[in-house]
């Protein structure tokens, strides 16, 4: 990925922060009466799994507007959430979103390609819909570096977009915001199989699955 594309994507998300949740809520350009109900059903599964996952000191990479931060912070088993994003506007939205357990969250403005943390600092890590913006040739090394931030045996999880039927897995998409501005965004789609192939290099016991149409999920551990 060229430095320009990386910067464009960071600017895109920074500008998109106030309208980002339109995507989750299927408002405006994201509305599709044919699939809105299925989307809500599959998203509810991600919410359910998020309610049941994570403990100790958790690193969340690219927290965005905080849908998953809120789940993590609300869990009694989680003692601290370090929520990182490259966009101050996203961190601001995230601060607003988190209610239960907000006192456990520390928000950090940082680049996910250059995280300011050391080996073994966390019990768990999570990243939602960020892997799909990482060039495929960098994904393995980046996830390896994230996994090294976990204590041995620490758990990692991710959610992302499932490859739509018949679509190219690697795309540069032209995306528009409400104000009509347009940005190029790298989007890399995974299936449960291609994600397992990637994660099993980090942990032979890695598990991946999909929700049917929209989402893919993975869990793995740092080997002891
Ligand atoms: C698709 S959003 C996902 C947000 C959130 N994790 C979620 O699942 O709703 C991608 C996020 O990655 C962040 N991001 C993009 N490039 C980044 C980088 N280099 N370092 C850290 N965060 C980055 C964006 O600001 C945005 O919040």
Looking up residue 12, the CATH number of its domain turns out to be 3.40.50.150
Residues with CB under 6 A from ligand 1: 9-10, 13, 62-64, 67-68, 85-87, 90, 111-113, 128-130, 133
Q: Is the pTM of this model over 0.85?
A: yes
The residue segments making up the domain with residue 97 are 3-221
Residue closest by Cα to atom 26 of ligand 1: 64
Mutate to test the pocket of ligand 1, among 85, 116, 218 (most ligand atoms within 8 A of CB): 85
Q: What is the structure's pLDDT at 215?
A: 98
**Angle at the Cα of 27 from the Cα atoms of 23 and 33, rounded to 5 degrees:** 105
Mutate to test the pocket of ligand 1, among 42, 86, 107, 108 (most ligand atoms within 8 A of CB): 86
Q: What is the structure's pLDDT at 87?
A: 98
Per-residue pLDDT in tens (0 to 9) along the chain, 224 residues: 899 999 999 999 999 999 999 999 999 999 999 999 999 999 999 999 999 999 999 999 999 999 999 999 999 999 999 999 999 999 999 999 999 999 999 999 999 999 999 999 999 999 999 999 999 999 999 999 999 999 999 999 999 999 999 999 999 999 999 999 999 999 999 999 999 999 999 999 999 999 999 999 999 999 99
- Cα–Cα distance measured from residue 15 to residue 99, given in angstroms and rounded to the nearest whole number: 24
Q: State the total domains in the chain.
A: 1
Q: What is the structure's pLDDT at 147?
A: 98
Find the 146 Cα to ligand 1 centroid distance in Å.
Answer: 15
Phi-psi region of 153 (alpha: psi -120 to 50; beta: other; left: phi over 0): left
The counts of H helices and E strands in the chain are 7, 9
Residue 198 contacts residue 134 (beta carbons within 8 Å) = no
């Amino acid at each position: 990925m060229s430095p320009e594309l990386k910067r464009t994507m960071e600017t895109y998300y920074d500008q998109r922060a106030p309208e980002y949740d339109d995507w989750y809520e299927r408002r405006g350009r994201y509305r599709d009466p044919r699939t809105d109900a299925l989307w809500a059903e599959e998203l509810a599964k991600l919410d359910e799994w998020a309610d049941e996952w994570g403990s100790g000191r958790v690193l969340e990479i690219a927290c965005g507007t905080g849908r998953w931060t809120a789940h993590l912070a609300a869990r009694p088993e989680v003692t601290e959430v370090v929520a990182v994003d490259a966009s101050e506007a996203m961190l601001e939205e995230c601060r607003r979103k988190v209610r239960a357990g907000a006192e456990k969250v520390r928000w950090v403005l940082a680049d996910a390609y250059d995280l300011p943390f050391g080996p073994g600092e966390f019990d768990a890590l999570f990243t939602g819909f960020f892997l799909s913006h990482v060039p495929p040739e960098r994904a393995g090394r980046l996830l390896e570096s994230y996994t090294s931030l976990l204590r041995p045996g620490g758990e990692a999880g991710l959610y992302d977009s499932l490859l739509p039927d018949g679509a190219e897995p690697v795309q540069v998409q032209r995306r528009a915001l409400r104000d009509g501005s347009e940005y190029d965004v790298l989007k890399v789609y995974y299936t449960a199989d291609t994600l397992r192939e990637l994660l099993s290099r980090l942990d032979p016991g890695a598990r991946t699955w999909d929700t049917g149409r929209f989402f893919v999920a993975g869990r793995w551990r740092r080997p002891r």
